[in-house]
Amino acid sequence: MKKLVLYQLVILASSLMLFSCGGNQNSTSGKIIPPVIIREYGEELFTEKSLKSATPAGDESDKVEVQFVDVKGLPGITSGVKIVTKEKAEVRLQCRVDFSEIGVMPAREEMKLTLYARGISSKEGDCHAVVMSANKLINADKALEVTIKPETGKWQKYEFVFTTNAPDSTDGYFGLRVGEKAQSFEIAGISLKPYIDLESPDQWMPIVVDAQGVNETVTAQTIINGSRYDRSAGEQWREEAEANIEKYRKGDLQIQVLDAKGKPVKNALVQVQMKRHEFGFGAAIRNQNKKRDQQFLDMFSIAVFGEAMKWRGEKDRGGRAYSVPTVEWLIQNGIPVRGHALIWCSWRFMPNGMEEKYKNNPEALRNVCLERVREAATFWGDRVTEWDVLNEPWNNNDVMEICGWDIVDEFFNITQDVAPNVRRYINDYQSVMGGRVHMEWSLDYYRQLFERNVPIDGIGLQFYIPSYRPVPQTVLSSMDRFAEFGVPIKITESHLQNKDHQIQAKDFHDLLTAVFSHKANTCYIVWSAYQQTSEGYRDSGYFTANEELTPMGEVFAYLVHHKWRTDIEGKSNKTGMYGTRAFFGDYEITVTASKKTVTVPLRFFSVEPLKDVYEIVLN
């Protein structure tokens, strides 16, 4: 069995094609998929000049000596520092080796520190040093403070990733506490630079590698400041998320190749190519042009309108002139459409003049709102797959306060009556950004609705994260709370704001991994795929305003169209069978044998009855 491995290419403005190996130089899906960059960001902060700046420091600096030495046995590294601690320090912090001449360290950003060390001598076991790094102006509060114990006579490589701890960029600091014991050791190959790795985002556990490349885990405590995100070593949530993705997002796909007489065909070439995920990786569609149309089809598997289908958008802004032809185009291209939203019960978001006309007439207000729901649900019918029937009831509830909260039941009942095949959602932003009071109110209110058997098919959660970094554990536990109702949940709107696009990309990697792993979740929609000029969306989106991928967009392309994708080929066995684990979605299966080729579509969805075997006949 031969897996089609995608090359990881640097994005060029003139080329958006992603190639596959295995002899076929084409897109594995037949689409234009942006290639992926896996790279380190930022310039080196630690130079040869930095190395030569090593100086004994602290009140007990007389107990340590620094010698500059030539290095052998490390490829590409020729110079280092020998540190000799003559006797144990009374106060270990006051016996240090500090390095000046460090470049400017950015604010609130991941940094990668790499160094080699080997012990020379020690009267008490291995050598011992505490590695420290931070922004210089606040170096009493280290962003990185971790112990290393280099073995005698053996070069070892250490790598640490940490978050800087200053609100503004300042000169960097690097140093070693060396007063633990009388000892001598050497360090070399020091590197310090801003870092992000899209392939391996969980590099918080220090790793030691000897010069021959033998890896082993080093137990060490890393103190990381300046972030709400607990990036501790050995994050259990990530291991569980990867296991859940394998468990819930994939299934056993079994294909049997038969000839025209129904007999098994041996050694037939079976090519399995994913066309689209079952999971809804989507975006709000707006401000399209020809290039953006193609990017939307290549990147996403579900669409929603930001304003065009809302009551105010349709009545005051002529939304249907845009939404109707766009929905037809989406359907023609196999993209399902979410309806958003049938009713948003705040005067602020209803058609102009509603408050003045209806605020003192509850009966008329009730009738006009129920008619809005009925008319829109009837008009769109099955052209949408689901509706956000009610949007943000927590603090957009002017209608309910005047007409009574029982009107919500009627909104859902009417939608069920006139569009029975369309799934009905209640949508709010409580899960991450709304706060504990908002969440608890929503959970209690939804519980009441379900107890009254209101026909709700799913719960929409909004993840607007404008000013802090998401914590995957919190996201997952919040989703757990809403999953208790036993209906699907969807991330219907998401917005991750961060002016530092590299940190944003890393956080997004974790956020998307978390939500994709949750059993009850079926969708993740970004509210703006393109960066906009408005303050709220200027630093959020998969594409720039000029349709170029952002770092966050690179992460999305990598995960959705590479890591979480099944494009594979192999040969059938003597019973005509070929099997593989595959992500749920729409596929194109091509079978070739005896100079005959047949290509068939295959729908492999977890929400539909799965066949034990999918038969393909070579006529």
- The pLDDT confidence band at residue 167, using thresholds 50, 70 and 90, is low
pLDDT score, position 190: 94
Q: Backbone dihedral region of 353: left (phi > 0), alpha (psi from -120 to 50 degrees) or beta?
A: left
pLDDT score, position 450: 97
Task: Please give the residue that has the higher pLDDT: either 173 or 326.
Answer: 326
Question: Which residues, listed in sequence order, are joined to residue 85 by a DSSP beta bridge?
Answer: 64, 183
pLDDT score, position 535: 52
- The pLDDT confidence band at residue 142, using thresholds 50, 70 and 90, is low
The arrangement of strands across the sheet holding 269-277 comes to: 2-3, 567-571, 269-277, 585-593, 596-604
In this prediction, residues 298-327 reach a mean pLDDT of 94
CATH classification of 48-234 is 1.20.810.10, yes or no? no
pLDDT tens-digit map of 16-53: 222 222 233 233 333 333 333 333 445 788 888 999 99
pLDDT score, position 536: 56
**Percent of the chain, pLDDT > 90?**
58
- The pLDDT confidence band at residue 308, using thresholds 50, 70 and 90, is very high
For residue 589, give the DSSP letter.
E
Least confident range from 168-172, 198-202, 599-603: namely 198-202
Report whether 391 contacts 493 (CB < 8 A). no
Q: What rounded mean pLDDT belongs to the chain?
A: 82
pLDDT tens-digit map of 531-564: 875 555 667 889 988 888 888 999 999 999 999 9
SS (H, E, C) 421-464: CCEEEEEECCCCCCCHHHHHHHHHHHHHHHHCCCCCCEEEEEEE
In this prediction, residues 585-609 reach a mean pLDDT of 95
Looking at residue 310, its amino acid is K
In this prediction, residues 59-74 reach a mean pLDDT of 93
pLDDT tens-digit map of 221-259: 222 222 223 334 336 888 999 999 999 999 999 999 999
In this prediction, residues 431-436 reach a mean pLDDT of 57
Residue 138 has pLDDT above 70, yes or no: no
Domain ranges of the chain: 48-234, 284-496
pLDDT score, position 360: 95
Residue 164 has pLDDT above 70, yes or no: yes
Two tokens at 406?
Answer: 């029982």
- The pLDDT confidence band at residue 468, using thresholds 50, 70 and 90, is low
Task: Please give the residue that has the higher pLDDT: either 453 or 435.
Answer: 453
Instruction: Give me the DSSP letters along 350-410.
Output: S-TTHHHHHTT-HHHHHHHHHHHHHHHHHHHGGGSSEEEEEE-TTT-BHHHHHH-TTHHHH
Count other Cβ atoms within 10 Å, centred on residue 261: 6
- The pLDDT confidence band at residue 15, using thresholds 50, 70 and 90, is very low
The arrangement of strands across the sheet holding 614-618 comes to: 577-583, 250-259, 614-618
Residue 514 has pLDDT above 90, yes or no: yes
SS (H, E, C) 470-486: CCHHHHHHHHHHHHCCC
Phi, psi at residue 196, to the nearest 5°?
A: -150, 140
Report whether 119 contacts 102 (CB < 8 A). no
Least confident range from 238-252, 346-360, 454-468: namely 454-468
Task: Please give the residue that has the higher pLDDT: either 286 or 36.
Answer: 286
Task: Please give the residue that has the higher pLDDT: either 168 or 130.
Answer: 130
CATH class for the domain made up of 284-496: alpha beta
445 CB contacts (<8 Å, ≥6 apart)?
Answer: 393
Q: CA–CA separation, 59 vs 394, rounded Å?
A: 59
Least confident range from 24-38, 266-280, 454-468, 549-563: namely 24-38
pLDDT score, position 501: 83
Residue 602 has pLDDT above 60, yes or no: yes
Phi, psi at residue 186, to the nearest 5°?
A: -120, 150
Q: CA–CA separation, 184 vs 118, rounded Å?
A: 9
Two tokens at 372?
Answer: 């809005």
Looking at residue 381, its amino acid is G
Residue with tokens 């359907």: 331
In this prediction, residues 586-609 reach a mean pLDDT of 95
- The pLDDT confidence band at residue 187, using thresholds 50, 70 and 90, is very high
